[in-house]
Amino acid sequence: MSTPAFTHLAEVGSTNDWLLARAETLPDGHWVIADRQTAGRGRRGRAWSDGTGNFMGSVLVKAAGPVQQLSFVAALALHGALAGLSGQPARFALKWPNDLLLDGIKCAGILLERQGSAVGDALVIGIGVNLAHHPDGTERPATSLAAAGLPVPPPVGLLDKLAPAFAHWCAMWARDGFAPIREAWLERSTGLGTRIVARLGAESPEGLFEGLAEDGALLMRLDDGTMRAIHAGEVFAV
Ligand code: BTN
C-alpha cells in the first residue's frame, strides 16, 4: 500500500488545528505533517514540544460510531510502523490511554480532537513521535528513537509506513468493530495483570489492570473485588 494524499508543511501552529480548519473540504484519510509546530499541544492541556526531525502529523477521519476507539486504531498503526522500521518490535509497547513507550519510556503520543456539529462526523487524530529528539525536564521522562540507539527515519519515511497501517486497522475497525482492535492493542500493551494506580485528580485508585472495556475505558480490579472502569486520566505501575 502506498501513502495516501498528504500535505507537507514547513511550519504550522498545530497540525490538528490545520486539519480541523479544513475538515469540511478535505477527504477522509487526508494526512498533514509539519517540520515545525509553533503551538503543538498534547493531552490534558500540555504543550507538545516542537522538535525538528520529529514526526508531527494528523489524519482526518470521517466516521460515525464510537470514534473514541480510533485512538487505539492509531496506536496499533504507530506500533506497527515503528516496530517495522526499527526491526525491534519487542522494545515498543502501548500504554493506556494514548501513549507509545520505547524501552518503557514515552516516545510518542496521540491526541484525538473534533469540532462541533459544523463538520459532521469529522475527527482529527494527531500523532507526535520523538524520532530525533525528546524534551528534557518533563513531568514524566521521555525518550526518542535516537536516544534509544535506533535508526531514525525521516518523518515522511514514518508516514510512508504509518498511513497504510492506519488505513488497514481503520478498515478492520469499520468492518469488524472494536473486538479485534482491543485484542491486538492488549497484546502490545504494557502492564496487563499488574498492579497500577490511576491519577484522577481528586482520587488515586489502585488495583490490577484487567483489560479494556467496549468504549476503551481501562478496567481496574479493585482490592474489594469490584471492577472499576477508568474513562480518563493517567495510570502508572505501582
Ligand atoms: C500526548 O499528550 O501524548 C499527545 C501528543 C500529541 C502531539 C501531536 S503532534 C501532531 C499533532 N498536533 C498537535 O498539536 N498535537 C498532535
**Over the stretch 130-167, which tens digit does the pLDDT of each residue have?**
999 999 988 889 999 999 999 999 999 999 999 999 99
Residue nearest atom 2 of ligand 1, based on CA coordinates: 42
Distance, CA of 87 to chain centre: 20
Could you tell me which residue, 116 or 105, shows the higher pLDDT?
105
- Flag whether pLDDT at 16 surpasses 60: yes
Q: Which residues line ligand 1 (CB under 6 A)?
A: 14-16, 37, 40-43, 46, 48, 56-58, 98-99, 109-111, 126-128
Mean pLDDT of all residues in 86-111: 96
* CA-based torsion, 107, 69, 43, 56: positive or negative: positive
Write out pLDDT tens, residues 228-238. 999 998 899 99
Nearest CA to 217 out of 231, 228, 227 is that of 231
Q: Is the pTM of this model over 0.85?
A: yes
Q: Give me the chain's average pLDDT, please.
A: 93
Counting atoms of ligand 1 from 1, which one is nearest the CA of 46? 2
Counting atoms of ligand 1 from 1, which one is nearest the CA of 99? 3
Q: What number of residues does the chain have?
A: 238
Gap between the Cα atoms of 123 and 200, Å rounded: 25
